[in-house]
């Protein structure tokens, strides 16, 4: 199910921060668009990402944890070792997503529908290495360990990711699941002006030497001003040597085929396919307030104007704590207690019926 259309997007955050910094860009019709100055864009992104980090670190008390940061990750065993996340064709090793930062939040278990209940214990990776040193046994894993992934060769794209390793090596295509604490992947964006464009390509010569081949594949390119304003497309290919983006077709603002093709001098914004803050739309107000407060802090504007800093601390953040509290799992109380009640994070509230 898609998220609501009113969710806070990276583009909206960029526009709001540029307004706060009094550095907005407008087209000939007076409509605001994201700046094509990459240095300014990088500054806005730094402020936004720092604002999101500030919000994430302001955890509810006394628990000291956000409920929204707790996620479940599933691992599908591929006994042949040729799965998408298998490492070095090893059926026991799986690469974990970039948002995983090494913090687990509970036990690892077989999914219910697997019909398998072998207990899996977390252990130190050295223990599994010792078990596998002389012989690699196969069967239903009973041990699992996390360790930093060390990619072979010079590539650094996954150098900060984690892997999970199992013992015995899985012999069946079962699925296991474990809870973890999500990590924040910084929001990204690139903007510029087209030097040429047509129905399936857009050329940005200024980007040709800065990004490798295919870097922007699957990103969304949106025309922000000029001919084709509002049209967008998914990038199918990016050529470093020429700065040419290839798309299948330009879509109109409603997502229908046949959007207006851009031309030379049209401005564009590039965003990853998923480009929202990590907390979810229920926390949009707090995240926006945090980013605008951060703009005040980094612009050294707090002495003259601290409206958003005060709004964040006194209204938006406490409201986010309350929203997060209400999202905690509810548990039934003692069955011998005749008064209907519910338990939320250890706080008992009695309902009147």
Residue with tokens 């050294």: 300
Q: Is 351 helix (H, G, I), strand (E, B) or coil?
A: coil
Tell me: cis bond preceding 89? Omega within 30 of 0 counts.
Answer: no
Specify the pLDDT at position 182: 87
Q: pLDDT value at position 41?
A: 96
Q: Is 101 helix (H, G, I), strand (E, B) or coil?
A: strand
Distance CA 241, CA 207 (A): 9
User: Which pLDDT score is estimated for 346?
Assistant: 43
Q: How far is Cα 237 from Cα 250, in angstroms, rounded to an integer?
A: 14
Nearest 10 degrees: Cα torsion 157, 191, 250, 255: 90
Strand locations in 118-208 (E): 121-122, 138-139, 143-148, 162-167, 169-170, 175-182, 190-193, 196-197, 201-203
Contacts of 311 (CB under 8 A, 6+ apart): 289, 292, 293
Taking a C-beta distance cutoff of 8 angstroms, is the pair 11, 34 a contact? yes
DSSP for 12-77 reads HHHHHHHHHTT--EE-TTS-EE--S-HHHHHHHHHHHHHHHHHHHHS--TTT---GGGEEEEEEE-
Specify which residues 122 forms β-bridges with: 144
**Where do the domains of the chain lie?**
1-61+279-328, 67-182, 191-274
Our measurement of the distance from residue 267's CA atom to the centroid of its chain's CA atoms, rounded to an integer in Å, reads 26
Contact 275, 10 (CB under 8 A): yes
Residue the block writes with tokens 């007076």: 30
Q: How many CB atoms lie within 10 A of CB 288?
A: 23
pLDDT of amino acid 353: 32
Are the beta carbons of 326 and 46 closer than 8 angstroms?
Answer: no
First to last CA, the chain: 35
Judge whether 174 and 120 are in contact, CB under 8 Å: no
Q: Where are the alpha helices (DSSP H) in the chain?
A: 10-20, 38-57, 125-134, 284-298, 307-311, 317-326
Q: State whether residue 113 is helix, strand or coil.
A: helix
> CA 169, CA 142: separation in Å to the nearest integer?
9
pLDDT of residue 304: 66
Instruction: Give the residue ranges of the chain where pLDDT is below 50.
Output: 1, 154, 156, 331-353
């Amino acid at each position: 199910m898609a998220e609501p259309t009113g969710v806070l997007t990276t583009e909206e955050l960029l526009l709001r921060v540029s307004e706060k910094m009094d550095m907005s860009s407008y087209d000939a019709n007076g409509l605001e668009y994201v700046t094509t100055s990459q240095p300014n864009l990088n500054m806005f992104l730094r402020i936004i990402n720092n604002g999101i980090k500030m919000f994430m670190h302001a955890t509810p008390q006394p628990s000291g944890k956000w409920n929204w940061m707790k996620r479940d990750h599933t691992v599908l065993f591929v006994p042949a070792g040729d799965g998408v996340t298998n490492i070095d064709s090893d059926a026991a090793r799986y690469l974990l997503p970039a948002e995983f930062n090494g913090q687990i939040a509970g036990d690892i278990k077989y999914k219910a529908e697997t019909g398998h209940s072998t207990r899996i214990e977390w252990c130190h990776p050295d223990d599994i290495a010792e078990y596998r040193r002389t012989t690699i046994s196969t069967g239903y894993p009973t041990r699992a360990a996390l360790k930093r992934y060390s990619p072979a060769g010079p590539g650094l794209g996954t150098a900060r990711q984690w892997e999970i390793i199992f013992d015995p090596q899985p012999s069946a295509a079962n699925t296991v699941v474990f809870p973890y604490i999500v990590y924040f992947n910084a929001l990204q964006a690139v903007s510029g002006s087209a030097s040429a464009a047509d129905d399936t390509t857009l050329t940005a010569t200024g980007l040709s030497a800065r990004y490798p081949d295919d870097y922007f594949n699957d990103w969304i390119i949106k025309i922000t001003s000029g001919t084709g304003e509002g049209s967008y497309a998914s990038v199918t290919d990016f050529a470093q040597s020429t700065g040419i983006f290839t798309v299948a077709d330009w879509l109109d603002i409603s997502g229908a085929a046949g959007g207006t093709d851009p031309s030379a001098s049209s401005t564009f914004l590039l965003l990853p396919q998923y480009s929202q803050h990590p907390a979810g739309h229920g926390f949009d107000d707090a995240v926006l307030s945090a980013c605008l407060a951060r703009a005040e802090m980094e612009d050294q504007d707090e002495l003259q104007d601290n409206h958003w800093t005060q709004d964040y601390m006194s209204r938006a953040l406490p409201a986010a704590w309350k929203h997060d509290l209400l999202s905690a799992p509810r548990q039934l109380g003692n069955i011998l207690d005749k008064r209907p009640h519910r338990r939320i994070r250890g706080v008992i509230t009695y309902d009147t019926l």
